[in-house]
Amino acid sequence: MPGPRPVVLSGPSGAGKSTLLKRLIQEYEGVFGFSVSHTTRNPRPGEENGKDYHFTTREKMQESIDNGEFIENAVFSGNMYGTSKLAIEDVQAKNRICILDVDLQGVKNIKQTDLNPIYISIQPPSIEILEKRLRDRQTETEESLQKRLEAARVDMERSKEPGIFDIVIVNDDLEKAYERLKSALITEIQKVQDAKK
C-alpha cells in the first residue's frame, strides 16, 4: 500500500493507549488519521455514514469479507464490525499515518495481510497497577472488571511472545512511555511532515 506505514496499537484496557494517543495527535496535528470502520448496526442519532462508520448490510459486509477486502472483523452484540483495506488506504491517500487500535485477535488477523504496519503494544507495569487504574475509573461492575483483568493477564503474557510486536512499551511513567512511542514512530512522522513541505 502506498503512503506512510500504518500503526497497529494494542494492549489491555487501562494500560494508557488513549492517553498516549491523544498526546501524539495533539503534538503532531494532521499527521495521524483513524480508519472509519464498517458496521451492520443501525446508525445512532447524529451519526453520519462515512464519518462515524460505514453503515452496511450483513450480506454486503460478509461478501466483502469473503472477497478479502477486510483486514479484520468481529461480531459484537449480534452486529458485525470491521476494518476494510479501503478505509486504511483512504487515510494513507491523505498522507497520514493510519492508526488501528485493535485487540490481540485483530493483531493476528492483520499479521495475515500485506499491510506491513508497525506493531506496538502498550502494557501496564503490573496486573495490580492495572487493577487499581480500572477501579479508580469507577466505570466497571465487579464482574466486568474481573473479565477485563483476565483478558489483560492473557494480553500481558502474549505481548512477551517474540515476533508479535515490534515494540512493547510498559507504561509505568507516562513521560517515558510517550517518548518511547514517539521514537518508535519518528521515521514515519518525519516522512509525512517532509511530504507536506
96 is catalytic: no
Nearest to 70 by CA among 56, 81, 59: 81
Calpha distance 117→139 (Å, rounded): 32
pLDDT along the chain (197 residues), means of 10: 83 89 93 92 91 94 95 84 91 93 85 91 94 85 87 89 94 96 95 89
**Residue 152 three-state SS:** helix
137 is catalytic: yes
Q: Catalytic residue, from 41, 44, 153, 180: name it.
A: 44
Q: What is the pLDDT of residue 144?
A: 81
Calpha distance 170→138 (Å, rounded): 23
44 is catalytic: yes
Nearest to 7 by CA among 145, 161, 119: 119
Q: What is the pLDDT of residue 2?
A: 62
Q: Catalytic residue, from 137, 153, 158, 180: name it.
A: 137
Please count the other Cβ atoms lying within 10 Å of the Cβ belonging to residue 28: 17
193: cell is 511532515
Maximal C-alpha separation, the chain: 52
Q: What is the pLDDT of residue 118?
A: 96
pTM of the model: 0.82
Q: What is the pLDDT of residue 182?
A: 96
Q: Catalytic residue, from 148, 153, 158, 180: name it.
A: 148
User: How many helices and strands, by DSSP H and E, does the chain display?
Assistant: 7, 9
Residue 51: what are its φ and ψ, rounded to 5°? Answer: -110, -55
For the sheet with 32-34, list strands across it. Answer: 32-34, 97-101, 7-10, 118-123, 167-170
Evaluate whether 148 touches 139 at the Cβ level (below 8 Å): no
